[in-house]
Amino acid sequence: MRKNIRVVPKQILDRIHTFELDDIVVACVKRIKPQDIDRYAHLGLKVSGGQLVTPESQVPSPTSGRYSRANLEGRDVVRKDLPMVTRSYSWETPNWGDWSYGSHTQSVTREVYQRDFIPPKELELTISLLEMSGTGEFVVKFAIDQTLTRKAADFETDLLYNLNLLQENVGAVDVFPSAATLADYTNTVQIDWEILPPGHIDEVLRKMLQGKRAVSADRQKVMEQRLRVLSRFKPEAYIAGTNGFLRYFGAKYSDNLVAFENLNYGNAIYVMYERWEALSKRSRVDLLKGNRDGFDRIEHREGWDEKLGALLKRKK
């Protein structure tokens, strides 16, 4: 596990001050010898037939470090600045130490600190081959898929977070001006919706994929599985993003009730209500930072489909 960065390095801040644009990305470029590619196998890098094979953008493994874990799972913050509260805990204990005689409940009450849950950002790491040098080395770019702006109030906090995410997984950090303005970046996550009529899942999937950029067979399989769950609850229509990338898809159960998923960030489903069209056009990171009243987020853990069904039934 690589050492974390406690404060933004001065050389990083000095470099940012030289940029003309306010928008930056956390990224680094490394020259990698073919014999050293195995060091990056945990990221999916490999050499085949003398060519570098790069993986699709992906959320880094939580085993890479505490920032990578928080990025995928979220984290609890102990609020020692707030008054302690009383909590009661109960558990079953066998009578006389033998379960055959039955059991009884024991309880304990104690003062504990309050906690806040910080939701996961689910930022992805993008790896791309820039060139192959004359000496046979691969010039590779590693980037965190979030554009940051110096004008944001939480800029340095987000910058430190992304630097650590890159450090844990690649072992190097740097920053670059964004290839596009923040407005250009925002436009890539603002999507329009295509409304598809109910039908056989195979036909719905075919229509969703039609005219979009290539989607891998594995992701198509995940889509099919998720669509079959959504179909159980009798949607009035299916929905899909129409911006060229099939990132978002889902089902519409009424004008004010939509469940959708992001194909790139596939570990949770979002159920949105009255303002779903406006909410869906916000980036997922910004969405999780804001007010949570307009949607519910259900992680794809065991029993997620039952939770979804219960939520839809309640909201209908």
**pLDDT tens digits along 77-115:** 788 888 888 888 788 888 888 888 888 888 888 887 877
Tokens of 308: 């979804």
Q: What is the pLDDT of residue 143?
A: 92
Place of tokens 């992001």: 262
**% of the chain beyond a pLDDT of 70:** 82
Residues 107 and 235 in one domain: no
Residues 130 and 205 in one domain: no
| Secondary structure of residue 117 in the 3-state scheme | strand
Q: What is the pLDDT of residues 49-70, one digit of tens each?
A: 888 889 988 999 999 999 999 9
Do residues 220 and 154 share a domain? no
Among the candidates 167, 187, 207, a domain finishes at 187
Residue where a domain stops, chosen among 162, 187, 212: 187
Shared domain check, 52 and 16: yes
> Which residues of the chain are under the pLDDT cut of 70?
1-2, 133-135, 179-194, 211-214, 241-247, 263-266, 274-293
Contact 198, 235 (CB under 8 A): yes
What are residue 142's DSSP bridge partners? 28, 127
228 with 239, same domain: the answer is yes
Residue position matching structure tokens 């040098």: 133
pLDDT of 263: 66
Cα angle 219, 221, 225 (rounded to 5 degrees) comes to 115
Query: Do 223 and 299 reside in the same domain of the chain?
Result: yes
Q: Are 110 and 151 in the same domain?
A: no
Q: Closest Cα to residue 230, out of 198, 207, 208, 256?
A: 198
Radius of gyration of the chain (CA): 23
Q: What is the DSSP letter of 216?
A: -
Domain hosting 129: range is: 10-73+119-187
Contacts of 169 (CB under 8 A, 6+ apart): 2, 42, 43, 60, 61, 64, 65, 68, 125, 142
* Residue 2 placed within a domain: no
What's 223's domain CATH number?
3.90.1150
- Residues 223, 295, single domain; the answer is yes
